[in-house]
């Protein structure tokens, strides 16, 4: 009788230990995902903060690229607000607009 109770106790202990290990690994993965998203957000904010420097550098071309600068400004405003999906879309719009600004600045 004692050996049956011992075996049941060991099985219960193993199941409880497995649950604890799985829970801890899920929590660890969730924290890593949250950290990754916050790192992306930090980089987007850094990029957002550097846009005024770029705009001041290309003010001489403003007459020719007024539409592009307005697009960058609108995308910059969208980058501050909204979900991560909206921020990613705004970041892509900024990238496309900045390509044309760099092309004008180089020529």
Q: Where are the alpha helices (DSSP H) in the chain?
A: 2-57, 66-80, 84-106
CATH for 2-106 is 1.20.1440.20
Per-residue pLDDT of the chain in tens (107 residues, 90 and over written 9): 678 899 999 999 999 999 999 999 999 999 999 999 999 989 888 888 888 888 777 776 666 667 777 777 777 777 777 777 877 887 887 787 777 767 766 66
Percentage of the chain beyond pLDDT 70 is 87
Domain residue spans of the chain: 2-106
What region does 83 belong to: left with phi over 0, alpha with psi -120 to 50, or beta? beta
CB-based contact 79:94 (threshold 8 Å) = yes
pTM (predicted TM-score): 0.49
């Amino acid at each position: 009788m004692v050996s049956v109770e011992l075996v049941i106790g060991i099985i219960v202990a193993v199941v409880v230990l497995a649950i604890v290990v799985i829970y801890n690994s899920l929590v660890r993965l969730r924290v890593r995902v949250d950290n990754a998203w916050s790192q992306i957000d930090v980089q987007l904010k850094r990029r957002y903060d550097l846009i005024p420097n770029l705009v001041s550098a290309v003010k001489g071309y403003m007459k020719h690229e007024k539409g592009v600068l307005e697009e960058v400004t609108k995308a910059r405003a969208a980058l501050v607000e909204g979900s991560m999906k909206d921020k990613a879309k705004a970041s892509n719009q900024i990238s496309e607009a900045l390509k044309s600004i760099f092309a004008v600045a180089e020529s």
